[in-house]
Amino acid sequence: MKRKAVSRISLGLSLALLSTALSGCTFGFASDPDDPNEAVKEETIDTSVDTFQYDSSLEGTQITLLNTKAEIQVALEKVGAVFEERSGVHVEVMPVTDGDSPYTKMVSLYNSGNPPTLSILDTTDVIALAQEKAADLSEEAWIAEAEGYLTEVNGKVYSLPLCIEGRGIIYNKTVIEETLGEPFDPASISTLEEFEALLKRLAAAGMERPLSLAKEDWSLGAHQLQYIYETYDGTSEGAREVIEQIKAGELDLAGYDRLNEFLNAFDILKQYNVSAKDPLGADYDEMAIDLADGKTALWFNGNWAWPNLAEAGAETEDEYGFLPYFLNNDPTDFANQMIQGSPSKQVMLDGQMATEKQQAAAKEFLNWLVYSEIGQQMLARTCNIIPPFQNNPYEPADPLSRDIYEKVHQGMAFNASAIVPNDHWAILGAAMQKYLAGRSDRQELTESIQAYWDEQ
């Protein structure tokens, strides 16, 4: 009977697909040496020297580490395995999965009576949870190594800053040079006018719209809009101060220079946006490919974009770097000289449910990351992050992180992070989307920002 035959065929097909999938055979040109996706290089770690003093009484202790930085999940598992090999402490790395926000996961874990010993959180989450849940880390030795990157809650340190992240306008040097037919020196640009001139020349040279602008609310609401707080004077205190003023209604946003300057700059980015025709239809993954391929030369983003660029075919030897988010035409303004770079993820230790022994083991793990030769390497190489610790001699491998690293060490980065309520990026990100799409004007956007802060 026909229907039986059909069902047999579909069953057979499914099984065939299953079995080929399981046997894992490969055909086609998967191993083509030109394939840009081939062989993501594994950084090797030198484990021959290890002078770290392990506390043998902690052997056999089990601790958990909640990871909210999904892209380093596999790397962290490796770090945990190496640490266990050396210290005898088992570190279980728990992921935050698709659809969960870090905070939601923390809420559910605390409610289930099974919170992680250590958790990697955003600064706002640490501030929300620290006083009630976290162990005081103010007495730890690594405090001295992370000078300037610590987050204090009521005068105490509750978290270890895990990495420095920076953002700005990413350029692809090779593409700019090929398009303009002349050498490109990023340091030659120090005002918004000069930046606009660069865009104009790129456009004249045939690259009509040389810049990618993400439509995502986290990019617009957090990474872009927060410049108006962070460039107040380039410090976290300044950002806090200006936010207090906006909240209290003491600062007239319409007359606030940094907001107007930010929008002037944003308008220029908007104009040269590769998807200016339909800015809200832009695709994040495509931006990386466009930049790597040379369809565009610039992309507003941060050093976390490297894995995307690498997947799109960029090599670590390629010349990528950051331009500042130019705000005005004053070449002496720090905002036109420096890029923003500040600690972004914090490791908090649970002080409520974790046993003494677990806390001690967790502290040992943190010390190991900061002080041991292996831990230092693994942080910089395996996880490919920029550690904020002065004693860590290892430079990051990819060009974006290396640029941030160098700028931080040359004093060409300003360390300001605005602490805003957790829904800031979502709510004002939507307002920014509306402005990006040309469906609202400056006045409406300014009013939305004021209205948001009035409610806080």
List the interface residues with other proteins, window 240-279 (CB under 8 A). Answer: 277-279
Is residue 434 part of the contact set for other proteins (CB under 8 A)? yes
Question: How far apart (Å, rounded) are the C-alpha atoms in residues 288 and 300?
Answer: 11
Among 126, 298, 312, 335, binds other proteins (CB under 8 A): 312
Distance between CA atoms of 293 and 174, rounded to whole angstroms?
10
The alpha-helical segments, DSSP class H, found in 157-283 are 173-180, 192-204, 217, 227-230, 236-248, 257-271
Is residue 35 near other proteins by the rule CB under 8 A?
Answer: yes
Phi, psi for 211 (deg, rounded to 5): -135, 140
When asked if residue 295 is in the footprint of other proteins (CB under 8 A), the reply is no
Q: CA–CA separation, 127 vs 85, rounded Å?
A: 33
Q: Does 215 bind other proteins (CB under 8 A)?
A: yes
In the block, which residue shows the tokens 């770079």? 341
Residue 141 near other proteins by CB under 8 A = no
Site string for other proteins, 74-93 (x = CB under 8 A): x-----------------x-
Report 3-32 residues binding other proteins (CB under 8 A).
3-4, 6-7, 10-11, 14-15, 17-18, 20-22, 24-30, 32
Should residue 95 be labelled a site residue for other proteins when binding is judged by CB under 8 A? yes
117 contacts: CB under 8 Å, gap ≥ 6? 63, 64, 65, 349, 350, 354, 358, 359, 361, 362
* CA 434 to each of CA 111, 253, 281, 424, 448: distance values in angstroms, whole numbers, following the listed order: 38, 18, 13, 15, 11
Q: Return the residue of 41, 42, 51, 98 that touches other proteins, per CB under 8 A.
A: 98
Least distance between other proteins and beta carbon 446 (Å): 16
Total residues contacting other proteins by CB under 8 A comes to 86
Phi-psi region of 28 (alpha: psi -120 to 50; beta: other; left: phi over 0): left
Helix (H), strand (E) at residue 342: strand 339-349
Binding flag, residue 107, other proteins (CB under 8 A): yes
- Of positions 113, 181, 255, 411, contacts other proteins by CB under 8 A: 113
Q: Does 39 bind other proteins (CB under 8 A)?
A: no
Q: Are 205 and 179 in contact (CB under 8 A)?
A: yes
Reported in sequence order, the residue ranges of 362-429 that DSSP labels E, i.e. its strands, are 413-414
Calpha distance 105→279 (Å, rounded): 33
Q: Which residues inside 369-428 make contact with other proteins, applying CB under 8 A?
A: 421-423, 426-427
Does 281 interact with other proteins (rule: CB under 8 A)? Answer: yes
CB 85, min distance to other proteins, A = 18
* Residue 292 C-beta: closest distance to other proteins, Å: 9
Query: Can residue 190 be called a binding residue for other proteins (CB under 8 A)?
Result: no
Does residue 138 belong to the site contacting other proteins (CB under 8 A)?
no
Regarding 443 and contact with other proteins (CB under 8 A), the answer is: no
**Minimum distance, C-beta of residue 46 to other proteins, in the bound complex (Å):** 26
**Nearer Cβ to other proteins, position 130 or 338?**
130
User: Does 188 engage in binding with other proteins (CB under 8 A)?
Assistant: no
CB 5 within 8 A of CB 13: no
